[in-house]
Amino acid sequence: MRAAMFCLGVLAAVAAAGDLFPPVQVGAGILGPESARAAVDPASNAFIVFQGRDDPAARMQVFCGLSLDGFATLQTISVEGCDCRNPSIGIGQLGAVHLVFEARSSAGEVLYYLTNKGGPFQAPQRLTSTSGVSERCGSISVDASGGIRVVWEEYDGAASRVMYAIRGEPAAVLAENAARPAAYLSVQSARLHVLFLRDGGLWYVREGSAAALIAEGMPADSRYDVVTATGNDVPHIVFTTEAGVWYTARADGAFSAPVLLGAGAREPCIRRLPDDAVACTYIAGGDVRRRVNRGGGFEAEENLDPTAAVETEAVCAYDGAGFFHLVAAADGVVWYRNDIPPPAAAFSCDKTFGEAPLAVQFTDESTGPIRSRVWEFGDGGTSVERNPAHLYAAPGKYAVALAVVGPGGSARVVRENCIEVAAPRNRLSIPDIKVWPGAGLVRHPVLAEHRDPIQACQVAVAFRDDYLTGVHASLAGTALETLKPEFVAESVTDAGGGEKYLVLGVIIDVDPPFDGRMLPAAPAARALLYLEYGVAFWAPLDVRIPIELRNGIGAPPIDNVLTIAGAASVWPALAGGSAATAPRPACPFTRGDGNFDRVVDIADAIFVLGYLFAHAATPCCLDATDANDSGSVDIGDAIYVLTYLFGNGSMPAYPFPDRGIDPTADGLPECVCPAR
């Protein structure tokens, strides 16, 4: 196996030797993997490409794997009738992967390009349309705007030259009589810096400038690399001779005298650290080693020792977070390692207890590199946001879980009974009811439950009036009406899109002298007001018309608010509702009116008890007798009526207090109106 070593990426902090995590095998089953290259995207995902065979009789192919899935899936890249070799890889700011490789056949060598930009890898395409030449030693780079730069050697049978091209534009000659280019695209200037061999010497050229000789008498198998400093675009160069790896840099327009970094070393790679420090890695003694220059000269050599075997190839990269990625080939196997710590999942929340609906703000306090997260809130809700807010609508105790995934692994934390939601002390609701086309007057209740007496209220309702007519609010038949409120204001406005807003404001005692009148606490649902409307006779059947309480509607925005003692405003929980069209029943009824006299009173409770225990006649409408809407008639219905009348219990469910259609399905027979 040809010994080679390459390094690429941006180093933000040098990882200490020995901090590498256990290796993961790349490309299990691939025969003779070599010429590995690697690049790391902005999310610290490592991409590895190399050449090899998946069958002894197969031609050489290029394989590409990703650390995100542990290299479980390899993309195979091939060109019919060709051996594919020497891949080069570049990654854009958005994570798109770009590849260049050689396709060798009896007709010669040509370069192919492909990318996975926007999805799976596309089919390889010829890099150029030039005929009659060999193309090799391709090197690809991606600039900050996503532009593709490629440098390669072109040989026409008589001479070699170094070519370069920006993807989509014609190729140009960078250096004549030149071979084996090694290129680096400067982040600072967006210019190419290229090393190449010419007449036995190592030369350097910056795009748009004249070439300069670096060293003479270079061995035929010499390796070299270049990087530039961030602040001043100064090139730093490493190269090999028979003595080992050497370093030089240009200062004041001239290159410094080369310094020996590693005796007997080969395959150098040099990359930039923060503040224009540089790190050089190379292979010596079968191990990957590194030296760092932070401005005061190169520090002592570190032995990175990626595997116990003798490394024959190594590819290293530093990501933008400063983590180290290493790919090493030893004994015909490719391994990947990094020093990225696994994340530790943790979170906090701004509250753990409250009434429904309870809004909770969660904060991700996980540590370590993290690329994705999933929250589970315990009520079926999830989120992938970093710091989500979640609304708990129903009372209960909820476990919250946070799972995080990073390039170093995954972690999950669960907090049982993290959030406890109590039943709301204050609640407004509009029930779902059924109405029939042509109904002249429907009284649709707005129900209130409030644990404190209230001085005032404002109600905001959004509805569609496609089939509803004359929608307005009414206090008739409510406890509010008996208190003779001194301020009542209502408006209905067109919200556009077929929707309208109804807003009602009520203050019980606003004019002096103040007598302290208040609406008593209603721990069970009672009608705060009614929405009155007619239903158009042309309304189709089985149409659901939304009629719902909503905050922040109108101009200025109006919320649903109850004002309790001390002029304190509270925002109740909101629920419902709708009106669904259905055929008119033969006998509409009022729930709780078991004796069918159009009034719900103590006589109805006595009527239920007589039917159940005194062999009285069967009610003409069992649905009306089913006061608690349980789907059956039993002693609980008598208790429900008595509690409503004398014990501050909930009012009967719709239809009440007027006759209408039962909105809930049950097994009770249809009502038969008594003969008059």
Residues 66 and 214 placed together within one structural domain of the fold: yes
What is the structure's pLDDT at 306? 60
- What pLDDT does residue 16 have? 40
Q: Are residues 480 and 592 in the same domain?
A: no
Same domain as 275, residue 393: no
What are the pLDDT digits (tens) for 207-227?
989 999 999 999 988 999 999
Q: Judge if 59 and 133 occupy the same domain.
A: yes
The per-residue pLDDT of the chain, averaged, comes to 90
Q: Are residues 333 and 362 in the same domain?
A: no
Answer whether residue 1 shows pLDDT above 60.
no
What's the pLDDT band for 12 if we cut at 50, 70, 90? Answer: very low
Q: How far is CA 434 from CA 260, 408, 444, 589, in A?
A: 90, 57, 10, 12
- Supply the CATH number for residue 515's domain: 2.60.40.680
Concatenating the DSSP letter of every residue in 294-349 gives SSSSB---EE---SSS--SEEEEEE-TTS-EEEEEEETTEEEEEE-PPPPB--EEE
Instruction: Give me the CATH number covering residue 113.
Output: 2.130.10.10
Q: Cα–Cα distance between 7 and 19 in angstroms, integer?
A: 18
> In this predicted model, what pLDDT tens digit does every residue of 554-588 receive, in sequence order?
889 999 999 998 888 899 989 989 999 999 999 99
For 133-170, what is each residue's pLDDT tens digit? 999 999 999 988 888 999 999 999 999 999 999 888 88
One domain, residues 373 and 463: no
Average pLDDT of the residues in 588-597: 95
Give the CATH number, domain containing residue 411: 2.60.40.10
CB 35 within 8 A of CB 51: yes
Give the torsion sign (CA, 50, 52, 58, 60).
positive
CB 172 within 8 A of CB 181: no
**Confidence tier at 28 by pLDDT (50, 70, 90):** confident
Summarize pLDDT for 473-491 with one digit per residue, the tens. Answer: 999 999 999 999 999 999 9
Q: Can you tell me the distance from the alpha carbon of 98 to that of 194, in angstroms, rounded to the nearest whole number?
A: 19
pLDDT tens readout for residues 496-535: 989 999 999 999 998 888 888 999 999 889 999 999 999 9
Same domain, 397 and 492: no
Rounded Cα gap, residues 529 and 448, in angstroms: 9
* Helix, strand, coil in percent for the chain, rounding step 5: 5, 50, 45
Residue that terminates a domain, selected from 390, 422, 454: 422
Residues 443 and 413 in one domain: no
DSSP state of 19: -
DSSP β-bridge partners for residue 604: none
Give the model's confidence band at 251: pLDDT under 50 very low, under 70 low, under 90 confident, else very high: confident
Q: Please tell me the predicted confidence (pLDDT) of residue 278.
A: 87
CATH code for position 666: 1.10.1330.10
Same domain, 87 and 130: yes
Same domain for 563 and 606? no
3-state per-residue secondary structure call for 429-490: EEEEEEECCCCCCEEEEEEEEECCCEEEEEEEEEEECCCEEEEEEECCCCHHHHCCCCEEEE
pLDDT exceeds cutoff 50 at 15: no
State the sign of the Cα–Cα–Cα–Cα dihedral 438, 439, 441, 443.
Answer: negative
Could you say which of 422, 449, 481 is where a domain stops? 422
Domain that holds residue 358: 347-422
Measured between alpha carbons, how far is 218 from 83 in angstroms, rounded to an integer? 29
Q: What is the mean pLDDT of residues 107-111?
A: 92
Number of compact structural domains in the chain: 4
Q: Is 602 helix (H, G, I), strand (E, B) or coil?
A: helix
Q: Please check whether residues 282 and 365 belong to one and the same domain.
A: no
pLDDT at 329: 84
Same domain, 361 and 441: no
CB 327 within 8 A of CB 316: yes
pLDDT in tens, 63-76: 999 998 889 889 99
Q: Which of 547, 562, 581 finishes a domain?
A: 581
Tell me the per-residue pLDDT of 355-395, one tens digit each, with 9 for 90 and over.
Answer: 888 999 999 999 988 989 999 999 999 999 999 999 998 99
